[in-house]
Structure 1
């Protein structure tokens, strides 16, 4: 019996030792959030985010993302709670070396800063399915808005899980200015609003705790990261009408997919890819002389190589 016990112990030791050096396979993972149809009475006009999701899903598949690695939240699935749950699941499943892609197509809105970390006294927020347009004291005070501070913290968690060998890409096809609806004088759809979500007497002032602001920094052990936004803070995010398909898309999403397809087998750095993205957006709106929409990019290092995912 002693001989067999020693053999069993030795086998268990070998298994544990081997497990210590086992490295999980790198994986592509994605979360796509698209809200086209907001509930009646919420104050938000419908947009064409569902078309963005189909376009992005096709691109990710071409870049080696498996169906099981892509989570899509559409309309009523994309409540604040649903988005947080999906982000938590993504964070739980992400492992060292993974490439993670987050994509949001929805409305956006500025709202009063709640922790003093903003230079202009305003947070930017994405608008989940169950977020209301108006500030109603005691009834709705922004509980279902997804603030930039919250999203920034989730991005940091994903960076930590993906590690230095991984990568995190974020695309935000929303904006925080404009009219928030279809412009009456043209066939133009806008994603965002100029209405600031705050009490009527709120006056934005520079925050006293700006050191709390989450900015992307290159840090040891954290994944390189790049965030693309549809436009600058003072610009409007228009949708793009593809005449070949007779279909509307988010301008950033459409241009991003075109640029990524063209370069998916080419290793560009973040700066070069961003330049290509700007050129694409300018070309797509060349016949819209009054529009000025410039994608905004923030990253950990502009010289990092840009890849949407691990090679298929």
Structure 2
């Protein structure tokens, strides 16, 4: 029997609603696979917590989290708290303190769905984006001067270290070695950003020499965004800096059905710290409390969590259950064209898990 401890942070808005469905799936996995158990502890750290305490999490929050095997996050953000507070005081400290330098996001068209790119099929839309997750454009370096005057200015520094750049590119190449197309695409903008991006390109080429069996392409980010639409079938593993990866993965989610279907994993590959799994959609305050949020991204993130733990069979069971519900087409939330509630869709995925493991 393998036991895993999970810190659960449901968060804000629709976060608790989709998290409830994710926890039901974990329970179904326990019932259908006798070899795993999950001890889940919920943490009430969100924007309400901030408004009451002036912090997004307790002062010792990171010390608390580091004792868990895994972290499961719902969604963070609320109208009463600026995004730069909710993100910079909860999500980014977790990613950085725990060296979750790999942000892994699949761009995969699930069976049972059609892409907005109506001329592309499921085989055309099946790749993964590896986003650098701890430095790059999202560095906390810079400042503002002369605020409120005509001379006001803001400076934001990008930070690309050799250590950080090498490790994310090495991870991406290692992942490409395990995938069928043996192809890596790196996002750059070295024709316009003349220090950090040529540095990035150089390291891509250096690391690529150790992987002669991988076809490598370097594309400028603007062209690459266009290729996500016009020729997505070319991609296998895409590696990008923090900002470029953030933008590309939202675009990738759009071409496979929307943010409600998009999971992500924040991974510490060395396993010195817990990794964190979450949907990439926001807290969606406009539909919070209505019971109509799509829980698939949250549940799919559990499939990624199982893969991270080495339970590939369980990860496949979860993803197959999601796809079977979509193929059946009878229980779908409004964003998918149906009338089902969040709970009804979650219950149907759980039912499919039990059916598949009888």
Please say whether Structure 1 and Structure 2 have the same fold, judged by a TM-score greater than 0.5: no
Higher helix share: 2
> What's the TM-score once normalised by structure 1's chain length?
0.36
> What's the TM-score once normalised by structure 2's chain length?
0.33
Larger RCO, structures 1/2 (Cα 8 Å, 6+ apart): 2
The structure having more radius of gyration, on CA atoms, is 1
